[in-house]
Structure 1
Amino acid sequence: MKFTTSPALCLLLIITEALASPYFIFSPPDSLSQSQSQSSKSKSSSTFGKISHDSSEKSHTSSSKSSSKSKGYMKFPTQKRQISKSSSHESIINSSNSNKAAASSSNGTSDGTDGALSFDMTHQDAAYMLNLTIGSNNQPITLQIDTGSSDLWVINANNSWCSETSQGKGAYSTEKGNSSSGVQSDAENGYSHDCSVYGTFDPNDSDTWRATPGLFSQTYGDNTGANGTWGQDTVTIQGVEIKDVYIAQSDEADENYGVLGIGFRNLEATNSDTATESAFTYDNLPITMKNQGLIYKNTYSIYLDEYSDTDSAILLFGAIDHDKYTGDLGLLPIATNSTDLDIFLNGIYMSDGNSNVTIAIGSAPVVLDTGSSLTALPSDVLEAILDQIGASTSKDKSGSATYTAKCSSLKDQTFTFDFMGYKLIVPVSGFVIDMSGKTCTLGFQSSESIGFDYIFGDTFLSNVYFVADLDDNEIAIALANTGSTTEDLEAITDSIPSATQVPGYSSTQTGSDLILQTGSSTDSAGKGGKSSGAAANVKPSLANSLICSVVLMASLVLLI
């Protein structure tokens, strides 16, 4: 085959390819270069929507909060109810304050300044607890903090299921479930509970107790729950007195501690489909605090710094602590008509530092639930994640699954969670709940048995800082500044300070699930497509250049 190419065409081709080459550099005048540099830097510093644990910039300014730091909010350190762990632990990532280490067993001070009291348990579960007192005689009670429910209920001192020697199953998590009038009694199976560990309440000993009509019944996703009656009394939390708080006192409960639910009013047990009396709502604890002028809005922020050296966990009503997060604070709408803290998730991605994999994309509401110790995902999504991690699955006699992996294999692996265009990059090691030798146990569970597809419990929430605005139905979220020992408080009087709406804030989200992606991967730069495609585009260019070079040389020889 005869091939002819004109010298002029070859010269034009070479110039064109040179200009298109990524190695072709154009140096602008100093003034233009400086202008572009400043513009690029400004865009970089204000780029919103993708942050990682390496980010340390704060999106707030100190001048915006000087006028409101002395009032309008209430901060309560919480305790972490700890699971038993092996005495030998292995650090799986060096010099990173975002990685989980062995949980501390140190006790806090009586005024709660340490904020991290731990209790050794004999089970594989955990709960975040808060100390308070109830009644005119300040009866001490320790309750689990639960964003996934809305009632404050306590164990009655005369609960027939309580005994001084506990033979019970241990702690439980208030995973999502429907209220019902029937609670399966552990006492019927020969179990009892040492209710003195977390305190009981005797309404007869309180001069300020006032019984109110109605029966209380609550059952959680793990088939635990409580039955009882309603009343009102004074609650004192670390020196702050809150009067006329609605309280359910349970004379039938199959565990030894109660719950302080701080969710939406519509989630209250009195408003459930199975309420034994006519359904109604009441002002729960956060709303009562607002009504009594203790906080400006029904807002609170959660900081579950479980695995750093400080082992602190803070519940902050009516304010935000700017020192407890890093990077941009993304503002998301709570799902329309939701009774939970639901925000929309649009994608789950994973990376091992060399390649990126798309696990699932779509649109699904996820519940931010401190009452659930694990992160629950649909089985197909969970299996895809476990395969990517290289984790193993084992089941006990009851069918409960445990997921483990070599700790060393988790070192460079990360998740990217896409919340309506706002991306949070979290290390896989952030989901480790136990380390034994070189084996790490992962804090996931299949959601099929719970009834909610996506519940982001403590294993997710311990990696982030979030602010819930129940008045305006919004959630602000960012990566947690793990190990924080200082505070920068700002009362929330209007919108959440320093929070910026996420890219998809105004979009209509109607999906209910993410679609599993199989074999979907990108290169290490995250550009998508197959890396071999770029190499294929180079070969014709090289061939053209060689041919044209020969033609030009021949033309020069003829001219000479």
Structure 2
Amino acid sequence: MKSTTLLSLAWAAQSAYSLSIHERDEPSTLQFNFERRQIADRSRRKRSTASADLVNLATNLGYTMNLTLGTPGQKVSVTLDTGSSDLWVNGANSSACPCTDYGSYNSSESSTYTFVNDDFSIEYVDGSEATGDYVNDTLKFSNVTLTNFQFAVAYDGDSEEGVLGIGYASDEASDSSYGGGEYTNFPEALVDQGVINWPAYSLWLDDLDEGKGTILFGGVNTAKYYGSLQTLPIVSIEDMYIEFAVNLTAVHLEKNGNSVSVNNSATQFPIPAVLDSGTALTYIPTSAAASIYDAVGATYMSEYGYGVIECSVKDDNFTFLFDFGSFNMSVDISEMILETSSDMTDMNICTFGLSVIEDEALLGDTFLRSAYVVYDLGNNEISLAKANFDPGEDHVLEIGTGSDAVPKATGATETTAPAATSTGSGDKSDKESSATVPRSQIASLVAGVVVGVFLVL
């Protein structure tokens, strides 16, 4: 998600059609497998004003995949990101290189390269950026080839690894974007070149311990979720669809099945919540986060932009409930507690996967791992179901066009809990939040570890 986000503007929910899902002998779908590994944490840069990052592996983990560009092919590794819309990679002579671990692209070594323009420019909140050219060339992955595909080549920037952005074309980083000058990006190119029939895809990240996942373009895999998909309209910005945001109506916490008080009243729910695979953590308003931090014993480190928590809390029976109006999605606290450096883990200190932001929400990987998510760019809808971490044989259905309702696509049967629980509307109030996220006794311990690491460096 670029720093030029317009989420603070007025939001209006609009939806015209529902996703239709069809049984086919040979569905027109494309599946990518990817893995979670260390990356440059771009989304934290976009969102945070912290001047430095705690030495922390957990917040710098993302989901990466391999592509081949040009003729002959040049291999690159990119981060999968539903919160942006461009594929960009580093040029061989980029200021961010040598890009030994992730690869780079050299246009002079490709016989199918053509120059488009020099309009590529993306800037993050902390001032880091990537700039360069848009080009056309051949893109290969799995058994699929896209010809004359437009992507960006960065020659100046701060990250060794590029990004595969699969959002709306209206959110492209081109200087001429936001309502004019958009080009055919990756999801649209898959449709235009006959790989899939509709610009939609489903995302399954598996659980935290597995460190892998799949994205299925043009289809859903009912083996990988429980119950039925619940469909929400994507909210628009001034009649434009820019980001994958839906209305979040409240956040609740339970322990041993009993409700724990969360201050939802100080936040004006519903608020827009962006589902962003390029962000490691989940961010909610401070007023709601403060009571959650207090209940689970977490400490918010404002100087670093996220919280820490005792690793042993992952064994406590806490469950987060994210309300979306008529249903909610549950996330076990074990998916919200991330190991950091080995020194801190040995001291029973982990990263808390829930952080704070004002006036909106950002549902990153710590939320998405517990959900099966269908992003329907054609109908401007998001569909959600509870992820199945132990799927059996794949059952892939093709996403088509039409007005059939999403809930007809029923997934696996779960014996312990339903996929989605009915709930009432979230609490609403005009009151301003005066809450602050608490700091516990482990804050000084964390600070001591950080100082020690910096001294070693």
**Structure 1 runs of 4+ with >6 Å offset:** 501-504, 511-518
Which of the residues 312, 327, 331 maps onto 2:227?
327
Which of the residues 225, 235, 245 maps onto 2:149?
245
Q: Does 1:148 align with 2:51?
A: no
- Alpha-carbon contact 1:71-1:491 (below 8 Å) kept: yes
Counterpart Cα distance in 2 of 1:503 and 1:401: 29
- Alpha-carbon contact 2:372-2:384 (below 8 Å) kept: yes
Which of the residues 441, 459, 471 maps onto 2:351?
441
Residues 502-554 of structure 1 show CA distances to partners (whole Å, capped at 9, x for unaligned) of: 999xxx99x99998799xxxxxxxxxxxxxxxxxxxxxxxxxxxxxxxxxxxx
What's the secondary structure of 2:379's corresponding residue?
A: coil
Counterpart Cα distance in 2 of 1:230 and 1:487: 38
Counterpart Cα distance in 2 of 1:497 and 1:463: 26
Letter in structure 2 aligned against 1:322: T
Counterpart Cα distance in 2 of 1:77 and 1:159: 28
1:351 is displaced (CA, Å) by 1.0
Counterpart Cα distance in 2 of 1:497 and 1:267: 28
- Alpha-carbon contact 2:248-2:273 (below 8 Å) kept: yes
Mark the structure with the bigger radius of gyration: 1
Counterpart Cα distance in 1 of 2:305 and 2:145: 42
Counterpart Cα distance in 1 of 2:22 and 2:378: 21
The 5 Å alignment of 1:39-78 reads 66=23, 68-78=24-34
Taking structure 2 as the reference length, the TM-score comes to 0.74
Cα gap change, 1:454 to 1:391, in 2 (>3 Å):
same
Which of the residues 186, 198, 201 maps onto 1:297?
198
Letter in structure 2 aligned against 1:299: A
Counterpart Cα distance in 2 of 1:363 and 1:71: 37
- Alpha-carbon contact 1:304-1:461 (below 8 Å) kept: yes
Residues 380-417 of structure 1 show CA distances to partners (whole Å, capped at 9, x for unaligned) of: 2221211121223346xx54443213524752111111
Q: What's 1:365 paired with? A: 272
Which of the residues 246, 252, 257 maps onto 2:161?
257
Q: What's 1:416 paired with? A: 321
- Alpha-carbon contact 2:59-2:281 (below 8 Å) kept: no
Q: Does 1:80 align with 2:36?
A: yes
Q: What's 1:350 paired with? A: 253
Cα gap change, 1:76 to 1:354, in 2 (>3 Å):
closer
- Alpha-carbon contact 1:434-1:442 (below 8 Å) kept: no
Cα gap change, 1:141 to 1:496, in 2 (>3 Å):
farther
Q: What's 1:125 paired with? A: 60
State percent identity of aligned pairs.
Answer: 30
What's the secondary structure of 2:187's corresponding residue?
A: helix
Higher fraction of helix: 1
The count of residues paired between Structure 1 and Structure 2 equals: 374
Which of the residues 108, 111, 115 maps onto 1:207?
111
What's the secondary structure of 2:174's corresponding residue?
A: helix
Taking structure 1 as the reference length, the TM-score comes to 0.61
Cα gap change, 1:497 to 1:373, in 2 (>3 Å):
farther
- Alpha-carbon contact 2:90-2:97 (below 8 Å) kept: no
Counterpart Cα distance in 2 of 1:389 and 1:370: 25
- Alpha-carbon contact 2:58-2:338 (below 8 Å) kept: no
**Larger CA deviation: 218-227 vs 293-302:** 218-227
- Alpha-carbon contact 1:365-1:512 (below 8 Å) kept: no
Letter in structure 1 aligned against 2:252: Y
Residues 62-112 of structure 1 show CA distances to partners (whole Å, capped at 9, x for unaligned) of: xx854x1413110010121148xxxxxxxxxxxxxxxxxxxxxxxxxxxxx
Letter in structure 1 aligned against 2:382: I
Cα gap change, 1:296 to 1:516, in 2 (>3 Å):
farther
Which of the residues 137, 145, 148 maps onto 1:233?
137
Cα gap change, 1:415 to 1:402, in 2 (>3 Å):
closer
The 5 Å alignment of 1:85-124 reads 124=59
Which of the residues 385, 394, 414 maps onto 1:478?
385
Letter in structure 2 aligned against 1:203: S
Letter in structure 2 aligned against 1:342: A
Q: What's 2:416 paired with? A: none
Cα gap change, 1:253 to 1:293, in 2 (>3 Å):
same
Specify every segment of 5 or more residues in structure 1 that has no aligned partner in the other structure, as ranges: 1-63, 84-120, 164-194, 519-560
Counterpart Cα distance in 1 of 2:432 and 2:148: 47
Residues 166-205 of structure 1 show CA distances to partners (whole Å, capped at 9, x for unaligned) of: xxxxxxxxxxxxxxxxxxxxxxxxxxxxx12110000111
Which of the residues 112, 116, 120 maps onto 1:216?
120
Cα gap change, 1:409 to 1:319, in 2 (>3 Å):
closer
Counterpart Cα distance in 2 of 1:281 and 1:136: 25
Residues 360-381 of structure 1 show CA distances to partners (whole Å, capped at 9, x for unaligned) of: 1621110000111111122222
Letter in structure 1 aligned against 2:156: E
What's the secondary structure of 2:249's corresponding residue?
A: strand
- Alpha-carbon contact 1:323-1:486 (below 8 Å) kept: yes
Counterpart Cα distance in 2 of 1:197 and 1:69: 39
Higher fraction of strand: 2
Cα gap change, 1:306 to 1:69, in 2 (>3 Å):
farther
Counterpart Cα distance in 2 of 1:513 and 1:460: 27
Cα gap change, 1:474 to 1:271, in 2 (>3 Å):
farther
Counterpart Cα distance in 1 of 2:429 and 2:34: 33
1:243 is displaced (CA, Å) by 1.1
Cα gap change, 1:296 to 1:503, in 2 (>3 Å):
farther
1:160 is displaced (CA, Å) by 3.0
- Alpha-carbon contact 2:338-2:350 (below 8 Å) kept: yes
